[in-house]
A and B are shown apart, each in its own frame.
Chain A
Amino acid sequence: MWTRKAVVYVGLGTILVLFAPFINNLQLFLLGTTILGFVAVHSLVNTRPIDVKITRSFDSDQVFENSNVSIDLIVQNKGRSVGFLEIYDNLPSEIEVNNGSNHTIIRLHKDELVINKYNVNCRLRGQYRLGNPRLRIYNPSFLFFYESDIQSKSSLVVLPQIEQIEGVDLSTDFPKMYQGALPIRRIGTSGEFYGIREYFPGDDFKNINWRVFGRTRKLMVNQFEREDISDLMLVLDAREISGTGTILRNPLNYSCRGAAALTSFFLRSRNRVGLTIYGETVNVIPPDTGERHLYRILTALAEVKAAGSLGLHTVLGDLRNFTPRSPVMVISTLESDPTSTTALREITARGFKLTVIAPDTLDYDRDSRIISPTVYFTASASLDNKITEVRSLGARAMRWNPDTVLSTSLAEVIR
């Protein structure tokens, strides 16, 4: 294709060639001829079709939020030598290049292989599709160019960041004893060591740690983990309203991080964790345990998008199949959900141990001037009312400021 410069050159050359004879000016005439000749000669330089193959490789195609991924863009020339090859690797806007560049200009000799390395920072969870790299060939004086897309798409899954929860007892009061006992990290009588404490009269002699006694001359007894199992259901609000805020800082993203942290915590304790996501549809992942299940939930959380306006009541049907009296954790601001009061009442009425975590980004939204102080005040008061209402049902509820550690916030409500 012709560039603007080429069009200007041809126009100027033609004008000079036609105009110069009128003023008997050989200088301008030859200049016009040279300009036209220059364009003609350049139409032969670096304008023939090329045969370039581009592949992309990652050091990891599944990473956690705020992780760096190293990308190798392998450019292989299978055709003629190319003087000016501009390559732009199409990245989603959520992925930020932090080292190197996804935009490069190279010279490729025949059969040459060039690797363009760059690092990206995956700031936001999601399942991303890295698009086709775009090629542009210019001739040296920018008179002609040719653009094309090379078929080379790749997928990158960014899982929500997992915060380590420690020092919070979130387990159930109703452990299930008959579905295959698995150790959870509480004091019990299994073979798994938990810790040591001072000896009190009545303790079994066989639990005395004689090595410690030999060292310290104090009677200390070993404690062991208790073996039991509990089911836990996380309910995540993915309605359109949960995506309000900035791309990075909105209730949905923080809800996903919270859900990921809780899932990891409970699965580490060998509990069974399920996930229900509601928004546009209701998506249920039944309770299960193990590493594979963790990644199943994390992948589901990575794919969650803010859409729809289904109320909390839509998950009640699925909760009927869930083990009675088990913990249910709802992660939602409950904003603009007229069904939430009835739904929460029903959940508590069925005997589920309900905890509501409301990710609160209102302070940030106000400070960033996304919402006005009036809106902030109204929304904040509304959220407080909801929390009070939930607490009045006998459930645990908290406003979670995402700038604070989740376990710290949880510790305040679980006392």
Chain B
Amino acid sequence: MNTNNSLSLMQAISTFSLILSLGLAYVINPVEDSFFFKAIDGIISGLYGQDVLDELNNSALAGILVGLFSGTMFVFLTVNKKVYDYTLISLFTVIILIFVASFRGYDAIPYHVTQQLFLWLWLGLPIAVGIVGIWQDSIGNLIMAAFLVLVMPLGLSGNTNDEIIYILGFVFSFMLFIELSYGHTRYSRLARVMYYSKEYEMVLQWFLVTLVVTLALTTGLTSIAFLFHDFLSGFLPDSFSNSVEFNTIYGQALSVLVFFMIWAVVQTLFSRGYLARQVED
């Protein structure tokens, strides 16, 4: 496989992971409950005196599709600086005209259509920003996209254990997005500096394989740590395992902490043995 193919594959998987992570984030936290959505709804209600957002379609899927479209369009537009500038100016002019038309009571442009588009664009903003970050190797965009994916769907109602599969799916895809996009930025920069060689391609393949294996291992470890809570409750006295504190997220956090402490002890023992071997050498 050519180095460019491997790097493109990384970008493609990263994009897919980003979409998946945002989708799963909205599955775990419904759009209506999200803090950001509520905040915007509050602002717009205050501005117009009516529940505008409630009348619109707040489908996360539509938002993801609009985000995908706008992000891709942006990437293509930046290929040509002139086209990019003209498009941006045109877009800005249209937005201004819509607002001016709205304030002057001129209803030639259907206002609810643009509102709907803006809502979907808002929902898909992490995708739009992330795609630009992935395909243009912009670390700033990647950080922003990761932040938005985490924060935008965030609700105040919290999660339950029933959503554990979706949560683990989200964690895996989110980590895959971050690792592949960052890895692509680093490796493509090195590929530009480096004289192309078969050895470099082998390094890339090693990275991809190790990433998938370690990520699967880590997610598996997290799942085990999560299940360790139930396992631990079997060992603990009833007064402890049936307590309110133990059965909340704090109890789960405590179980996870105990699991990783045991794991750390095991790793330290392993490392000590390894160090001893080094001394003997």
Query: In the bound complex, do residue B195 and residue A26 qualify as a contact, i.e. CB atoms below 8 Å apart?
Result: no
Indicate which residue in A29, A34, A38, A48 contacts B249 across the interface (CB closer than 8 Å): A29
Indicate which residue in A30, A38, A101, A118 contacts B226 across the interface (CB closer than 8 Å): A30
With a CB–CB cut-off of 8 A, which chain B residues contact A106? Answer: 197, 199-200, 202-203
Query: How many Å lie between the Cα of A40 and that of B186 in the bound state?
Result: 21
| B168-184 residues at the A interface, CB under 8 angstroms | 168, 170-171, 174-175, 179, 182-183
For chain A, which range describes its interface: under 10, 10 to 19, 20 to 34, or 35 or more residues? 35 or more
| A68-108 residues at the B interface, CB under 8 angstroms | 83-84, 100-101, 103-107
The yes or no answer to B15 lying at the interface (CB within 8 A) is no
The verdict on A26 contacting B161 (CB below 8 Å), with A37-B260, A107-B203, A141-B183 known, is yes
Query: In the bound complex, do residue B217 and residue A31 qualify as a contact, i.e. CB atoms below 8 Å apart?
Result: no
The verdict on A23 contacting B218 (CB below 8 Å), with A31-B171, A33-B225, A40-B267 known, is no
Query: How many Å lie between the Cα of A141 and that of B226 in the bound state?
Result: 25
B263: shortest Cβ distance to chain A, in Å? 8
Query: How many Å lie between the Cα of A33 and that of B164 in the bound state?
Result: 14
Query: In the bound complex, do residue B218 and residue A34 qualify as a contact, i.e. CB atoms below 8 Å apart?
Result: yes
The yes or no answer to A153 lying at the interface (CB within 8 A) is no
With a CB–CB cut-off of 8 A, which chain A residues contact B190? Answer: 105
The verdict on A26 contacting B194 (CB below 8 Å), with A31-B171, A45-B210, A114-B199 known, is no
The yes or no answer to B215 lying at the interface (CB within 8 A) is yes
With a CB–CB cut-off of 8 A, which chain A residues contact B263? Answer: 40
| A116-161 residues at the B interface, CB under 8 angstroms | 118, 140-142
Query: How many Å lie between the Cα of A141 and that of B214 in the bound state?
Result: 10
Query: In the bound complex, do residue A23 and residue B158 qualify as a contact, i.e. CB atoms below 8 Å apart?
Result: yes
Query: In the bound complex, do residue A83 and residue B194 qualify as a contact, i.e. CB atoms below 8 Å apart?
Result: no
The verdict on A105 contacting B225 (CB below 8 Å), with A34-B219, A38-B175 known, is no
B189: shortest Cβ distance to chain A, in Å? 11
Query: In the bound complex, do residue A21 and residue B214 qualify as a contact, i.e. CB atoms below 8 Å apart?
Result: no
Residues of B at under 8 Å CB distance from A?
Answer: 25, 28-29, 150, 154, 156-161, 163-164, 167-168, 170-171, 174-175, 179, 182-183, 186, 190, 193-195, 197, 199-200, 202-203, 206-207, 210-211, 214-215, 217-219, 221-222, 225-226, 248-250, 252-253, 256, 260, 263-264, 267, 274, 278
- 28 A-B residue pairs with Cβ-Cβ distance under 8 Å, sorted by A, are A20-B249, A23-B158, A24-B158, A25-B154, A26-B167, A27-B25, A27-B167, A30-B167, A30-B168, A30-B171, A31-B170, A34-B219, A38-B214, A40-B264, A40-B267, A42-B214, A45-B210, A48-B274, A83-B207, A101-B194, A105-B199, A106-B203, A118-B195, A140-B206, A141-B183, A141-B211, A142-B183, A142-B186
Residues of A at under 8 Å CB distance from B?
Answer: 5, 17, 20-21, 23-31, 33-38, 40-42, 44-46, 48-49, 83-84, 100-101, 103-107, 114, 118, 140-142
The 5 tightest CB contacts between A and B, nearest first, are: A24-B158, A101-B195, A106-B199, A26-B159, A140-B210
